[in-house]
């Protein structure tokens, strides 16, 4: 269940249809998926990809994605902070960033051209499609846990290009000051 955080208006949206419409306006895809069969938290990657294969194949065909895998990040994952450091600064890349969340949570910040930054917290059942070239960054939440399906357009993966805009620091400041109100 996603939460859209419109920082400039100090407004949060939790209704899935409203979130989908808002994100569509800035070119970002949002869907909610259900597995074709129930999956336990320890389900194997193959089992997970099979349970979501209809949706995976649909967006592969629509978006030109060629591979799908499952990542599993836990609080005790080795070098977790170093890994997060790559993604928690504003960047863009030549490929779409597509994530479907199975377990845990993630926080995306999206900074489309000529639009204020918005936060999207994603959790189990949420799919987010951030188009190539979109300025954005990602972080984990307090649970420091995420298991997610990833889809790629290029099997070699992508390299982040950092904007060095300082937007993350500005957002952190805004969040800290709104928490103090």
Taking CB under 5 A as the binding criterion, the range among 13-21, 53-61, 89-97, 114-122 that sits at the site for Fe ion is 89-97
Tell me the closest approach of the beta carbon of residue 88 to Fe ion, in angstroms.
10
Which is nearer to Fe ion, 43 or 128 (by Cβ)?
128
- What does the DSSP 8-state code read for residue 105? -
Q: Does 97 bind Fe ion (CB under 5 A)?
A: yes
Q: In sequence order, which ranges of 26-155 are alpha helices (DSSP H)?
A: 45-51, 53-63, 80-87
Q: Does 96 bind Fe ion (CB under 5 A)?
A: no
Which is nearer to Fe ion, 97 or 126 (by Cβ)?
97
Tell me the closest approach of the beta carbon of residue 36 to Fe ion, in angstroms.
29
Q: What is the Cα–Cα distance from 15 to 126, expressed in whole angstroms?
A: 12
Collapse the DSSP code of 19 into the 3-class scheme (helix H, G, I; strand E, B; otherwise coil) and give the result.
helix
List 68's β-bridge partners, or say none.
151
Q: Going by C-beta distance under 8 Å and a sequence separation of 6 or more, which residues neighbour residue 105? A: 121, 122, 123, 140, 141, 143, 145, 146
Which is nearer to Fe ion, 70 or 97 (by Cβ)?
97
Taking CB under 5 A as the binding criterion, the range among 1-9, 27-35, 95-103, 108-116 that sits at the site for Fe ion is 95-103
Q: Does 90 bind Fe ion (CB under 5 A)?
A: no
Interacting residues toward Fe ion by CB under 5 A: 97
């Amino acid at each position: 269940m996603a939460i859209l955080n419109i920082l400039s208006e100090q407004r949060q949206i939790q209704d899935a249809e409203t979130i989908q419409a808002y994100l569509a306006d800035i070119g970002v895809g949002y869907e909610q998926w259900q597995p074709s069969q129930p999956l336990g938290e320890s389900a194997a990657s193959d089992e997970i990809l099979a349970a979501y294969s209809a949706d995976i194949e649909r967006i592969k065909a629509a978006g030109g994605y060629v591979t799908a895998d499952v990542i599993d990040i836990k609080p005790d994952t080795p070098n977790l902070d170093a890994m997060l450091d790559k993604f928690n600064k504003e960047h863009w890349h030549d490929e779409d960033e597509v994530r479907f969340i199975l377990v845990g949570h993630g926080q995306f910040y999206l900074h489309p051209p000529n639009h204020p930054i918005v936060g999207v917290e994603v959790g189990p059942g949420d799919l987010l499609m951030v188009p190539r070239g979109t300025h954005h960054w990602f972080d984990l939440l307090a649970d420091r846990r995420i298991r997610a399906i990833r889809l790629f357009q290029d099997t070699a993966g992508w390299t982040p290009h950092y904007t060095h805009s300082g937007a993350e620091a500005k957002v952190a400041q805004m969040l800290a000051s709104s928490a103090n109100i």
